[in-house]
Amino acid sequence: MIRHAIKLIWNRKRSLAWIFAEQALVFAVMLLIFTSQVDRVIQYYAKGAMRMDDVALVAYMEYDRPGDPDEESGAQFRGMIERMRQWPTVDLITVNRANAMPGTGSISNDSVSFNERRFRANVRFCDENYYRIFAPKLTEGEWFRDAESYEEPPALVTELLAERMEMTGSAVGQSVYYNGATYRIIGVVEAFKERASYEQLATIFLPYSMNTELGFEYAVKFKPGRGSDFAKAFIAEFNSIFPSDRYMPVFLDFNKAMVQMNFFEYSFQLYMTGLPVAFLFVFAFLGTFGLVWVQSKKRMTEFGLRMAMGCTPGRLIRAIVFENLFLTVFAMLPSLVVAAHLYAFSPAGWEWLAAVGAAVALMLLFSVFSAWYPAWRASRVQPVEALRANQ
Write the pLDDT tens digit of every residue in 193-246.
887 778 889 999 999 988 878 888 999 999 998 989 999 999 999 999 988 778
> Tens digit of pLDDT for each residue in 148-207?
788 889 999 999 999 999 998 899 999 999 998 999 999 999 999 887 778 889 999 999
Query: Which whole-number Å values give the CA distances from 120 to 109, 136, 160, in the listed order?
Result: 7, 21, 11
Flag whether pLDDT at 44 surpasses 80.
no
Q: How far apart are CA 63 and CA 297, in angstroms?
A: 74
Q: How far apart are CA 339 and CA 326, in angstroms?
A: 20
Say how far residue 174 (Cα) sits from the centre of its chain.
35
User: Strand pairing partners for 138?
Assistant: 189
- pLDDT at res. 369: 80
- pLDDT at res. 21: 78
> Tens digit of pLDDT for each residue in 280-295?
667 767 777 777 777 6
Q: How far apart are CA 250 and CA 238, in angstroms?
A: 10
Provide the residue type at 292 as one letter.
Answer: V
Flag whether pLDDT at 263 surpasses 80.
no
- pLDDT at res. 207: 93
> Tens digit of pLDDT for each residue in 357-386?
888 888 888 788 877 877 777 777 666 665
Q: How far apart are CA 271 and CA 277, in angstroms?
A: 10
Q: How far apart are CA 283 and CA 148, in angstroms?
A: 69
Mean pLDDT of 346-350: 57
Instruction: Render the burial of 332-347: b for 16+ CB within 10 Å, e for the rest.
Output: beebeeebeeebeeee
Predicted model pTM:
0.70
* Nearest CA-CA partner of 82 in 61, 47, 58, 55: 58
Flag whether pLDDT at 391 surpasses 60.
no
Residue ranges of E strands in the chain = 55-62, 90-97, 109-114, 117-126, 138-141, 154-158, 175-178, 181-189, 203-207, 216-222, 247-253
- pLDDT at res. 255: 72
Q: How far apart are CA 128 and CA 107, in angstroms?
A: 20
Of the two residues 172 and 265, the one the predictor is more confident about is: 172
Mean pLDDT of 308-333: 79
